[in-house]
Every structure is written in C-alpha cells, then in structure tokens.
C-alpha cells in the first residue's frame, strides 16, 4: 500500500498485490480504504505527483468535503480521474466485503 503525500488530502492509494494475496484480503483492504474516503488503484505505477496534481487533488477533496471557502482561485486539473493510470488487472472493488467497526483491527 502506497499513500501519496499529503496523504490526508490526496485520495489515491496505490495497492500492489502479490501472487499469494487472496481476493478476500484485497476486498477487505479496499473496503477499509473506501471507508476512509480513499480511491485505491492497482500498482505498482511508481508514479510521483507534481505540485499541480497535488493541488488538484487537494482542491477536489475540499470541494467534495464541503469545506472549500471559495476565496482562492483553484488550481484544478481538468479531471482528477485522468491523473492516475492504474496498473492493468481486474478492478479493485471492495463492496463485496462487509467490515464491522470492531473488525478493523484485524486488517
């Protein structure tokens, strides 16, 4: 798992799985990250974000979280979805896994 800096305001998280990683484990991790408002994608991309891209993700997070005050001119990328190109593989979808509040410690 690789978080992009600053990890609090940047939503993408890169997940690199091994050949022995079970689909159940992947689903649980993806579900947990989605609970944290993160967008997991397959890695390794070895991608480093530029300052402009980081600003775009921060602005997007502020708008989605309804705490953008509107006083500063946004440094927005046309689409934050186009910034990260995931590694090929099946899509990461954690909606199949149910995580209970007391179950997160076992992750």
- Say what the pLDDT of residue 20 is: 92
pLDDT band for 3, please (50, 70, 90 cuts).
confident
Confidence check: pLDDT of 11 > 80: yes
Sign of the Cα torsion 77, 93, 107, 46 reads: negative
Q: In what order do the strands lie in the sheet with 2-3?
A: 2-3, 12-15, 39-42
pLDDT tens-digit profile of 84-101?
A: 766 666 667 765 555 554
Write down the pTM of the prediction: 0.64
- What is the predicted pLDDT for the residue at 95? 58
pLDDT tens digits, 46-94: 878 888 888 888 887 777 777 777 776 666 566 666 677 666 666 677 6
Q: In degrees, to the nearest 5, what angle opens at C-alpha 66 toward C-alphas 50 and 5?
A: 25
Chain centroid offset of residue 9 CA? 10
């Amino acid at each position: 798992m690789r978080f992009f800096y600053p990890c609090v305001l940047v939503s993408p998280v890169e997940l690199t799985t091994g050949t022995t990683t079970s689909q159940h484990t992947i689903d649980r991790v993806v579900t947990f990250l989605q609970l944290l408002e993160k967008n997991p994608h397959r890695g390794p991309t070895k991608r480093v974000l530029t300052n402009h891209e980081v600003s775009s993700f921060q602005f997007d997070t502020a708008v989605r979280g309804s705490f953008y005050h509107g006083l500063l001119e946004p440094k927005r990328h046309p689409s934050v979805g186009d910034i990260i190109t995931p590694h090929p593989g099946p899509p990461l979808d954690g909606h199949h896994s149910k995580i209970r509040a007391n179950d997160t410690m076992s992750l």
